[in-house]
Chain A
Amino acid sequence: MNRTLARSLPVAAIGVAILLPMFMGDYPLQVARNIMLYMALAVTWDMLLRSGQISFGIAGLFGLGSYASILAVVRGGMPGWLSIPFAGLFAGLAAFLIGFLILRLRHTYFSIVTLALGEIFRIIIHNMHDFSGGPEGIVVQQGIIFGGASRNLYWLTLAGLAVALLASYWFEKSKVRFALTAIRNNEISAKSSGVNIFRWLLLAFVVTSAIQGMMGGIFVMSYGFASPETVFSADFTLLPLAMALLGGIHSTVGPILGGLLLGLVSEWLKLQIPYGHLVVYGVMIVVVILFMPQGLLGLARKTMRAAGRNRK
């Protein structure tokens, strides 16, 4: 009974997610798109975290992908739909090259360097006026992808999220899980078990960066516009991080759960409080780290275990 429920729940969720646009207006669909975007970023942030590395560079790779996509369309004449996988490829390639340098770093050093890299990308884009449009940003003259049809944009973002979820599922079910868990626990003993630490970190970094870049591509193609302030916004680092922490790290379900909750709350707060609604995210991060480091998922597991014990 329980197992059937556990199996049918994801299927039902997928069905609802696909059919949602049939019953929704433009505004709720745009909200749903935002939430899915953040969910995908939250899941990818978590995927790298499973190796013990905290990235503060989500916004950097997201922004890099955004510009790769929009510049490919505007300057290179690439079709909009193609620019999205191109953005992923570009961000993945950048991560591959950067990874050779920065994946030797650990802990705070790694985190700070990822933050610094995001700033470097932003400044470069900001300063290359002639090519990137500079601080004022750049517009897709050809118009928004799918003529801006809400439903199609929704499905596009959903597809992006699906890629992130599939990758996360692969990380959970394959050797990758063993490699990343071993690295997170103790690198020295991981080496003694034959784990090539650098190779697996590089894989995780490249895959997550590529997806973050691809989501950037989806974002700019959906709005037809990019500027350094919008696509490199710290929100793209902050929100996913808070979502994953709230839901429960080291899992696929956690970031999705957290993303759904925080995403809905923040869309509502955004309307109520135009300035500073992000304070909720800060509070959430602090509270989660201090009082429930395993997130809602960990809390649920604990409760279930306690309930099971009582029954016995």
Chain B
Amino acid sequence: MTKLKTIGLSRRFLGLVAVNKVSFSMDEGEILGIIGPNGAGKTTFINLISGIIMPGEGKIEYKGQDITYMPAHERARLGIARTYQLIHPLENLSLIENVMVGSIFARGHSMREARRRAADLCGELGLKDLDRDTSKLTILEVKKMEIARALANEPEVLFLDEVMAGLNADETKDLIATVQRIARERKLAVGVVEHVMGVIRELTHRVIVLEAGELIAEGPYEEVSKNPRVVEAYLGGAA
């Protein structure tokens, strides 16, 4: 079942095209990789879908509903969640309280209920000692907290923006397994932006490739990675 779909989505900044006529869709239970060279518009694309910025043209549909210009907090309530590349834990709030925010505001749970659900979520992700100050967390724990914060929205569509960056090999493996389990159990549609191709190959069912804001290829990773245009895009970016 299609959860999310864009049609000709575009956005310019000061005349520069950041995202250009991108049409794609995501299905229930699918883990989709979003790849492309630096500056290809991946994060902008996620920002458009989550409502952090508004598109210039095109359409975004969530479960058949037009959400193109819906404010971000309403999208969060509908079931679209995301993590951020630069994670800012909320100061003055403990680990569990950070996770509670989504549960309180996106789902409207009471504080008590939100705390219970946040504790469950943290347990599921292997986070312990939940009343800790967030300044004391390890990188892996911060990443997991960020994922838990997004999951607290109880989303149906989840975007992960470079959650594996900065982790070592073991931690990456651990987090890949966690994301796969969560996606399977919750029948989530997950969009993943990653720079490490190994992670994309392991984690995703399908990828889309952006270059200079345009969608240039789409399909399983094995297939797309042999596509001459994709190779060209990456080599061009490297040269």
- The residues of A with any CB-CB pair to B shorter than 8 Å are 174-175, 178-179, 181-182, 185-186, 188-197, 250
In the complex, A196 Cα to B90 Cα: how many Å?
17
Contact between A192 and B50 (Cβ–Cβ < 8 Å)?
Answer: yes
Contact mask B108-152 → A, CB, 8 Å, 1/0? 000100000000000000000000000000000000000001101
**B18 is an interface residue with CB less than 8 A from chain A:** no
Q: Is the CB of A194 within 8 A of B88?
A: no
* Contact flag A192-B88 (CB < 8 Å), given A178-B97, A178-B101: no
CB–CB B81/A185 < 8 A: no
**A181, A192, A196, A197: which has the most chain B beta carbons within 10 Å?**
A192
Point out the residue from B52, B91, B153 that lies within 8 Å of A193, measured CB to CB.
Answer: B153
Name B150's contact: one of A175, A188, A192 (CB within 8 Å): A192
- Residues of B contacting A192 in the complex (Cβ-Cβ under 8 angstroms): 50, 52, 72-73, 76, 81-82, 84, 150, 153
From B73, B84, B88, B111, contact of A195 by CB (8 A): B73
Q: Is the CB of A193 within 8 A of B88?
A: no
7 contacts between A and B (CB under 8 A): A178-B100, A181-B92, A192-B50, A192-B82, A193-B73, A193-B149, A196-B71
Query: Using Cβ atoms and an 8 Å threshold, which residues of chain A touch B150?
Result: 192
Distance of A178 Cα from B100 Cα, bound (Å): 9
Contact A175 B51 (CB under 8 A): no
Count chain B residues whose beta carbon lies closer than 8 angstroms to a beta carbon of A. 29
The CA of A190 and the CA of B98, in the complex, are separated in Å by 11
Please tell me if the beta carbons of A175 and B73 are within 8 angstroms of each other in the complex: no
**CB <8 Å contact, A194 and B51:** no
Residues of B near A181 (CB, < 8 A) are 90-93
Question: Which chain B residue lies CB-closest to A199?
Answer: B73
Question: Could you mark each residue 64-106 of chain B with 1 if its beta carbon is under 8 Å from any beta carbon of chain A, else 0?
Answer: 0000000111001100011010001011110001001110111
Q: Contact between A186 and B73 (Cβ–Cβ < 8 Å)?
A: no
Q: Point out the residues of chain B lying under 8 angstroms from A178, CB to CB.
A: 93, 97, 100-101, 104-105
> Whole-angstrom distance from the CB of A262 to the nearest CB of chain B?
24
- Which chain A positions have C-beta within 8 A of B71? 191, 196
In the assembled complex, the CB of B224 is this many whole angstroms from the nearest CB of chain A, namely: 29
How many Cβ-Cβ contacts under 8 Å join chain A to chain B?
72
Task: Kindly identify which residue among A174, A185, A196, A250 contacts B73, using a CB–CB cutoff of 8 Å.
Answer: A196
A178-B100, A178-B101, A193-B152 provided; 4 other pairs, C-beta below 8 A?
Answer: A181-B92, A182-B105, A186-B90, A193-B105
Least Cβ–Cβ distance between B146 and chain A, in angstroms? 9
Are B90 and A182 neighbours in the complex by a CB distance under 8 Å? yes
Find out whether the CB atom of B92 lies under 8 angstroms from the CB atom of A193: no
On whether the beta carbons of B93 and A175 are closer than 8 Å, the reply is no
A261 to B162, CA, bound (A): 49
Q: How far is the CA of A175 from the CA of B77 in the complex (A)?
A: 16
CB neighbours (8 Å) of A250 from chain B are: 92
Contact in complex: A189, B73 (CB < 8 Å): no
Residues of B within 8 A of A174 (CB): 111
B107 within 8 Å of A by Cβ?
A: yes
A191 to B77, CA, bound (A): 10
CB distance from A207 to the nearest CB of B (A): 18
Q: Which of B90, B97, B107, B111 contacts A194 (CB 8 A)?
A: B107
**CB within 8 Å for A191 and B51 given contacts A175-B104, A175-B111, A178-B100:** yes
Give Cα A179–Cα B73 distance, bound, in whole angstroms: 12
Give complex CA distance A43, B90 in Å.
22
Cβ-closest chain A residue relative to B110:
A175
Nearest chain B CB to A287 CB, angstrom units: 23
